[in-house]
Structure 1
Amino acid sequence: MLAKALKTRRNEYVLASKCALFKKDGKPTIDGRPETIRQQCEASLQRLQTDVIDLYYLHRLDPNVPIEESVGALADLVKAGKIREVGLSEISSDTLRRANAVYPIAAVQSEYSLWSRLPEIQMLKTCEDLGTTFVAFSPLARQFLTGKAKDATHYGDGDIRTNNSRPRFEPEAFAKNIQLLEPLKDIAAQLSCTTGQLGLAWLMAQADIQGNKTLVSIPGTKHIDFMRENIGATQVQLNDSLRDEIGALLHEDMVVGARYADGQMKVMDSERDRD
């Protein structure tokens, strides 16, 4: 479907894809070996029916493969004209610096929202130092910031809120977490927007010390109504004072539960920035 949509308008879009995390025999597998990266890139190009991918992410760091080897393979794909830019996902600041020494990293994609603030510890500053764009995934906190989310018992087994991201959606934890939205509802009402739009506007209001906007958020758009609401966030303007007030009203320190289950937290390279 995506290949068909891109076919006649390819130059109008920035096409991003990922490698190194996939399912093998039904189980999630991380494989950052150069040969796997090359194979997955070729497969993506064929599926997308395109000659080049604009931004190609290493989806997860393979603990068994030095980051220098994985990025070296991605750099070779740039030289071969298969991809245009190299990105990384859910990596630590130290890993980013090591990777950037091999080849300039165009973008780092990690979770960032009002209730997941890990990038503020080191990553945002590291991206600023290196000229790397930060891409925030799950900016609506898996629907939590919209006020429409429910606890984990309301979702099927395949939903991330019932497995990897379950801790914050456990019924007892969720009952406490949902109360954190109350002060944001008041601000959203004053600005004539939804709490979801307020959360996205807060992200878009982030800037580096020079005042430059160096952050891109990628909210989910599974339904056309979601897309319309997300676009509406661009009309919500926050000054520095209000941005900081919102950031203080809902912070990760107030949230009950980790962002991922224990097993996932242990393999997330990005979590090393908390050390």
Structure 2
Amino acid sequence: MDYINIAGLKKPCAQLMMGTDYYKPELLDTVGDILDAYMALGGNAVDSAYIYGGGKSEETIGLWMESRKNRKEVLVLTKGAHHNAQGPRVNKQAIDEELAISLQRLRTDYVDLYALHRDDPNVPVGPIIEALNEHIEAGRIHAIGVSNWTHGRIQEANDYAAAHGLVGFTFSSPNLSLAKPNEPFWAGCVSADSDACAWHKEKQLPLLSWSSQARGFFTGLFTPEVRDNADLVRVFYSDDNWERYRRAESLGKEMGVSTIQIALAYVLNQPFPTCALIGPKNVAELNSCHDATRIRLTEEQLSWLDLSAALKAI
């Protein structure tokens, strides 16, 4: 397992992070075995959120950590301040209330990484940074970041933090995958485009990618003619993405690995620190992801895969 450093954490973070959005207590035996296998491979980070499963995801992680007595070995990322039926909730009250509930569910008194799940561009960055810093000072959060914020807003927030002697965001969690979305999978979601990736390269700010494998686009289960998954068709079906698929398939055959492993390696081999959030349903899928961490791709191969370089032999 490879690792990256995230400012604020007390140890490096595994590049493969376990996504847990489908976890619930009644699945504890099954997902517990997968998490145990993940830890045995050197993994150490789990991703959750206040809204996942109505809180069931956080509850399940808490039960697993309690049963294994491994809280100190696990880096927990959870997210809060997602909008609800009444609208955006990126404010101090929502952060304070939801973090307190998340800690109860997780059966812990701190989270290693805390991210704002959505942005509200109408809210000034200053009060947000100040609210999060209160929790850092109290020891309830070790590192703060964002999910689905533009890099411009992150820079604005970090400029404010630097000017006021506060801790800024030390990671971002947008979507990044070899398949480029035609539109957001969910309203308000952000994918890292070429400008965002250039900014991450310049700043070397860690990027933790959700839907890092494009929700199964590269599994081989889909073709341009198979259109029964309306969301996948809407978001990822395009001529350019099918060309990226063909290139990943070709390079995979050349390297003796699968197409989806090439797609995952694309995320892990960026010229800035990255983690890939994965959601294996069994140990075999976990092992496939782990094998992909051993693939090394050159800058030329990355550019060729994502069509930013001309088609040529590599």
| TM-score, structure 2 as length reference | 0.66
Q: Cα offset for 1:249? A: 7.9
- Residue 227 of structure 2 is aligned to residue 168 of structure 1: no
Judged with a 3 Å threshold, the aligned counterparts in structure 2 of structure 1 residues 176 and 93 are, in CA distance, closer, same or farther, namely closer
| Mapped partners of 1:94, 1:179: distance in 2 | 30
| Mapped partners of 1:152, 1:80: distance in 2 | 52
- Counterpart of 2:123 in 1: which secondary structure? coil
Q: Cα offset for 1:234? A: 1.4
What is residue 83 of structure 1 aligned with on the other side? 141
- Residue 261 of structure 2 is aligned to residue 197 of structure 1: yes
What is residue 125 of structure 1 aligned with on the other side? 198
- Residue 289 of structure 2 is aligned to residue 230 of structure 1: yes
Residue 183 of structure 1 contacts residue 249 of structure 1 at CA under 8 Å; is this kept in 2?
no
Residue 178 of structure 2 contacts residue 263 of structure 2 at CA under 8 Å; is this kept in 1?
yes
Counterparts of residues 80-159 of structure 1 (less than 5 Å): 80-101=138-159, 102=161, 103-116=167-180, 119-149=192-222, 154-155=228-229
Judged with a 3 Å threshold, the aligned counterparts in structure 2 of structure 1 residues 204 and 178 are, in CA distance, closer, same or farther, namely same
Q: Cα offset for 1:232? A: 1.3
| Mapped partners of 1:31, 1:166: distance in 2 | 30
| Mapped partners of 2:204, 2:256: distance in 1 | 35
- Counterpart of 2:75 in 1: which secondary structure? coil
| Mapped partners of 1:153, 1:28: distance in 2 | 34
Residue 180 of structure 2 contacts residue 241 of structure 2 at CA under 8 Å; is this kept in 1?
no
| Mapped partners of 1:166, 1:65: distance in 2 | 34
Counterparts of residues 14-93 of structure 1 (less than 5 Å): 14-21=75-82, 24=84, 27=85, 29-93=87-151
Q: Cα offset for 1:53? A: 0.4
Which residue of 188, 196, 214 corresponds with 2:252?
188
| Mapped partners of 2:257, 2:292: distance in 1 | 8
Judged with a 3 Å threshold, the aligned counterparts in structure 2 of structure 1 residues 185 and 125 are, in CA distance, closer, same or farther, namely closer
Residue 244 of structure 2 contacts residue 307 of structure 2 at CA under 8 Å; is this kept in 1?
no
> Match for 1:13: what amino acid?
V
Aligned length, in residue pairs: 233
Residue 45 of structure 1 contacts residue 53 of structure 1 at CA under 8 Å; is this kept in 2?
yes
| Mapped partners of 2:198, 2:248: distance in 1 | 27
Q: Cα offset for 1:37? A: 0.5
- Counterpart of 1:15 in 2: which secondary structure? strand
> Match for 1:49: what amino acid?
R
- Give the gaps of 5 or more residues in structure 1: 156-160, 208-212, 252-275
Q: Cα offset for 1:226? A: 2.2
- Counterpart of 1:95 in 2: which secondary structure? helix
| Mapped partners of 1:215, 1:28: distance in 2 | 34
- Residue 299 of structure 2 is aligned to residue 240 of structure 1: yes
> Match for 2:254: what amino acid?
Q
> Match for 1:132: what amino acid?
L
Judged with a 3 Å threshold, the aligned counterparts in structure 2 of structure 1 residues 89 and 82 are, in CA distance, closer, same or farther, namely same
Judged with a 3 Å threshold, the aligned counterparts in structure 2 of structure 1 residues 128 and 3 are, in CA distance, closer, same or farther, namely same
What is residue 158 of structure 1 aligned with on the other side? none
Judged with a 3 Å threshold, the aligned counterparts in structure 2 of structure 1 residues 176 and 104 are, in CA distance, closer, same or farther, namely closer
What is residue 262 of structure 1 aligned with on the other side? none
| Mapped partners of 1:141, 1:238: distance in 2 | 19
- Give the gaps of 5 or more residues in structure 2: 1-59, 162-166, 182-190
Judged with a 3 Å threshold, the aligned counterparts in structure 2 of structure 1 residues 147 and 52 are, in CA distance, closer, same or farther, namely same
Judged with a 3 Å threshold, the aligned counterparts in structure 2 of structure 1 residues 57 and 86 are, in CA distance, closer, same or farther, namely same
Judged with a 3 Å threshold, the aligned counterparts in structure 2 of structure 1 residues 52 and 67 are, in CA distance, closer, same or farther, namely same
Identity, % of aligned pairs? 22
Q: Cα offset for 1:69? A: 1.9
Judged with a 3 Å threshold, the aligned counterparts in structure 2 of structure 1 residues 174 and 224 are, in CA distance, closer, same or farther, namely farther
| TM-score, structure 1 as length reference | 0.74
Q: Cα offset for 1:136? A: 1.6
